[in-house]
Amino acid sequence: MESKKFRGSQLWRLFTLFMAEFLGTGVLLFGGCMAGLDGFDNVTTNVSRGITFGMVVMMAFIIFSPTSGAIINPVVSLAAYIYGTLSFPLMLLYVVAQFGGALCGYGLLRAVTPWHYYQQALELGAGHCVTAPHASLSPGEALAVEILLTGILVWTNCGVWDPRNKRDTDSVPIKFAFLIAGLSIAGGPITGASMNPARTLAPAIWNHSYDGLWIYFAGPTVGAILTATIYRYLFWQECKDVAQIAAPAGLQCNCHRALPKLI
């Protein structure tokens, strides 16, 4: 009886949310960075790494979305707070879980694979799965790229959260798989296409490689704040009628402008 009460309590709910984001981000780092390991009779490419990250995001979304939304990215959690999907305390819970999950996920990958692969990656560059700007880029250019890439990612999330899209969620996992793969393939050679401070910080800590780390915190954060704010105050509309939600935007939908409710 007491066990049932605890499982139905708010504390248990918060624990399940924390674990979903912790494990989801861990899966992202474990599976995504595994795709960048050279030496197992294979040579990875930017395209193969981008596709793998997209597939891993899809897998994490399918598994953990029913529990926490599978945000698995601190700046997307921030965007969800700005948009109105997350409360501030819940956003903090998500961010802590995501950074912790990233550190553990990448640490697990290092624990189950040969150490010399990571040493070789450090000798050849910034380190395995470490995001670093291309040598030809200035810090400002790299920052701008991360702002834009993250902006596209967050804008897509805002579109998914929009109540007018509530009927079109069945294909969201595969849509995000293509989105992440496309952004990673496009931006990978330039900045590593991080779009996620937790994804960048974990490999940086484990490889002791911190050059340009600030870019991958500042860029995604600025991109997330800008795009979430623009979407919330310029494009967001509340539809009371389900029929209105399905109507083409700008044609039949006579929704009134309103802010989303916090949960």
**In Å, what is the CA distance from 54 to each residue of 27, 31, 49, 169?**
12, 10, 9, 17
Task: State residue 93's pLDDT score.
Answer: 97
Question: Which sequence spans correspond to the domains of the chain?
Answer: 11-116+127-235
Torsion of CA 42, 48, 51, 52, to 10 degrees: 30
pLDDT digits (tens, 9 = 90+) for 134-168: 999 999 999 999 999 999 999 999 999 988 887 77
Q: What pTM, to 2 d.p., does this model score? A: 0.85
d(CA 17, CA 65): 10
Q: Are 147 and 217 in contact (CB under 8 A)?
A: no
pLDDT digits (tens, 9 = 90+) for 191-218: 999 999 999 999 999 999 999 999 999 9
pLDDT digits (tens, 9 = 90+) for 177-196: 999 999 999 999 999 999 99
Pick the closest to residue 164 from 45, 84, 254 (CA basis): 254
Q: How many helices (H) and strands (E) does the chain have?
A: 11, 0
CATH fit for domain 11-116+127-235, picks 3.30.2420.10, 3.40.630.10, 1.20.1080.10, 2.40.10.10? 1.20.1080.10
